[in-house]
Amino acid sequence: MAEIVLIRHGETAWSRAGRHAGRTDIPLTSHGEAAARSLAGGLAHRPFGLVLVSPLARAVRTAALAGLPSDDRDPDLVEWDYGEFEGRTTPDIRRDLGDPGWSIWDARIGPGSTPGEQPDDVADRCRRVLARCAPVLASGRDCALVAHGHLLRILTATWLDLAATCARLWALDAGALSALGHEHEQRVIQHWNVPAPAADG
């Protein structure tokens, strides 16, 4: 049965440092570019019926290096808008708030340089993306989505008909591949967080 292949963009300086990178347009590191290139061989044999890519540069570049022609740069695939927490790490936020248990999954996201989104707002965008995939999957063709860590985790929760915050339960590394599909009629995770093949050199 057809699958939705999820590709998280390659490493950036902010992903390496654990900084929340929502709408800030950060380029790939050289390691991120190498990892994205290494995906091409494994994806080349799949004739995707639809390829959707976040319009942020790190996702666009990952798709190009992985050999995926983008059918559309879909704004619904941009990363979670972290608002006031953009660019900050969890340890820094915990220290500044005096809250050792703070988590982005439980926080009320206030505005910063951008308005900010709550997890359910991200899930609403994910539902629109999945609706775009539905007729392609029904025709028996695979879809590919090239986007961001938290967005793809929330999209997975949405696929499984779970609350957006359940996405806290599965990690997704930069440059990794995952796949969503079906077991009989049940929506399932087929593969998760498969690392990019080691790049030569």
Residue showing tokens 């500044």: 96
Q: How many CA atoms lie within 13 A of 183 on its CB side?
A: 5
Crossing angle (nearest 10°) for helices 30-38 and 57-65: 40
Q: Reply yes or no on whether 33 is catalytic.
A: no
Q: Reply yes or no on whether 9 is catalytic.
A: yes
Can you spell out the DSSP letters for 36-59? HHHTHHHHTT---SEEEE-SSHHH
Q: Which of 3, 9, 33, 148 is catalytic?
A: 9
Helix (H, G, I), strand (E, B) or coil at 146: strand
Q: Which of 79, 86, 148, 150 is catalytic?
A: 79
Backbone φ, ψ for residue 6 (5° rounding): -105, 130
**Residues taking part in catalysis:** 9, 79
